[in-house]
Amino acid sequence: MDKRGLENYVLGIIVAIMCIAILLTTVPPLLASFFGKTNSQNAERTLESFKVYLNESDTATEPVKFVALVPKNWFLTSFFEGNGPDDCLGKNCVCICSTQDCKKDKACANIEKKVLQNGIQASIKIPADIFIISGENYDISAFSSTESWKPSSNTEIDNWFGSHHYPALYGLGQCIIDNSERTGVPIEIILAVAIHESDGGTSIRARKSCITDPSKPSNNLFGVTDVAGPGPAGVCWTAGAGTEECLTESEREEAGTTETCDFPCGDKACYLVRRGFKAYYTQCQSVEDFTNIISNSYKTAMQYKDNLRLMANAIGPTYSTDSTWGDQVATIAESIKSSMGAA
């Protein structure tokens, strides 16, 4: 290579190095600016959609589900009572922010009512499934969709019964797996209701024999009454069970009661109605009946089967007269999920 050719070669290398240096100093800020702008735009779009769902919840009779997908790893945060960014001061406000404290990139909107999560300021990391209930405030819950427990075998469930002090339910593992797969009712819900309603298979109704008629079986693990008809083995009457009800004469005859009570009933009369509970030849029949009831009669609850607390609270108002039933069952179900595999 002659001298002139060498000079051109060296010059070319220098020019190339300078171009690379320029790219290294200018492209990253441009890319950051571009993607930052995209995240900000996504935050604004997600916030606008969230407001639409808030408004929808005002007239809804069930929780409204909103799926927040972008910007990933940003936070949906609510503010009220004078806290929050400058554009939220003195107002009820919701922001989608790049940081949890909302001190950096954000999109904010004023909301007529407070947005609360478990009664306090909301802070939800995106992506998330957000469920909205409108009342005096907007009460929201956030969940990551998770699959129900999928035990590798019936032994895994039976070992869980043994290690968590529910020996009366030992041996039901395969029955629970089969009926969960058949109906779609999560295993955690089946176990939680059985534990709650039958004290883990030890209650009077769950005993293998009916306490008021030892010649008849009981095996009722889920507290299912005979309102919709008897069980496969008929009806087991639990001693002392009864409710005061206001009945017409025809209703009294249909209920088969003559026991009066003192509750004021206007044009009707107060009678003590003793309800029976379905009786089953086996505990597995009780599991089968319960999962049929939930999958066929609780369609709304089945929509939330990937969120145990929402599902339990959707079952509760119809299944039990105890207003705390849903939360109690949900707590048991969540405990089961967190401890699965620890047997």
List, for residues 217-276, the tens digit of each pLDDT value: 889 999 998 888 889 998 887 655 566 778 888 878 876 778 888 888 888 888 887 768
Q: End of a domain among 94, 117, 143?
A: 143
Domain-embedded: residue 69: yes
pLDDT at position 336: 87
pTM of the complete model: 0.56
Split at pLDDT 50, 70, 90, the class of 5 is: low
Please write the tens of the pLDDT for every residue from 48-65. Answer: 999 999 999 999 888 888
Look at the chain and report how many structural domains it folds into. Answer: 2
Pair 181, 249 in one domain? yes
Pair 127, 172 in one domain: no
- Structural domain contains residue 179: yes
pLDDT above 90 coverage of the chain, percent: 35
Give residue 147's pLDDT: 57
CA atoms within 13 A on the CB side of 115: 28
Q: How confident is the model at residue 37 (pLDDT cuts 50, 70, 90)?
A: low
Closest CA to 336 of 95, 160, 196, 199: 160
Q: Which residue matches tokens 């000079």?
A: 7
Considering 11-20, 22-31, 267-276, the range whose residues carry the highest mean pLDDT is 267-276
- Residues 133, 160, single domain; the answer is no
Domain span holding position 87: 41-143
Q: Are residues 167 and 305 in the same domain?
A: yes
Q: What is the pLDDT of residue 101?
A: 83
Q: Where does the pLDDT of residue 35 fall: very low under 50, low under 70, confident under 90, or very high at 90 and above?
A: very low
Asked whether residue 287 carries a pLDDT value surpassing 80, the answer given is yes
pLDDT in tens, 145-166: 555 677 778 888 998 888 877 8
For residue 56 the two structure tokens come to 């929808």
The DSSP-derived string for 165-201 is: T-GGGTT-HHHHHHHHHHH---HHHHHHHHHHHHTTT
DSSP state of 342: -
Tell me how far apart the terminal alpha carbons of the chain are, to the nearest angstrom. Answer: 78
| Of 116, 111, 146, 120, nearest in space to 131 by CA | 116
Highest mean pLDDT (candidates 21-25, 90-94, 239-243): 90-94
Q: Is residue 190 part of a domain?
A: yes
**Among the listed residues 183, 142, 148, the one whose alpha carbon sits nearest the alpha carbon of residue 299:** 183
Q: What is the pLDDT of residue 30?
A: 44
Coil/strand/helix, residue 244: strand
307 and 201 in a common domain: yes
Task: Give the per-residue pLDDT at 133.
Answer: 92
Residues 136 and 169 in one domain: no
pLDDT (0 to 100) of residue 343: 41
3-state secondary structure of 266: coil
| 114 and 259 both lie in a single domain | no
The reply to whether 117 and 164 lie within a common domain is no
Query: Is 148 part of any domain?
Result: no
Which one of 116, 143, 170 terminates a domain?
A: 143
Last residue of a domain, one of 143, 167, 201: 143
Number of continuous H segments (helices) and E segments (strands) in the chain: 9, 15
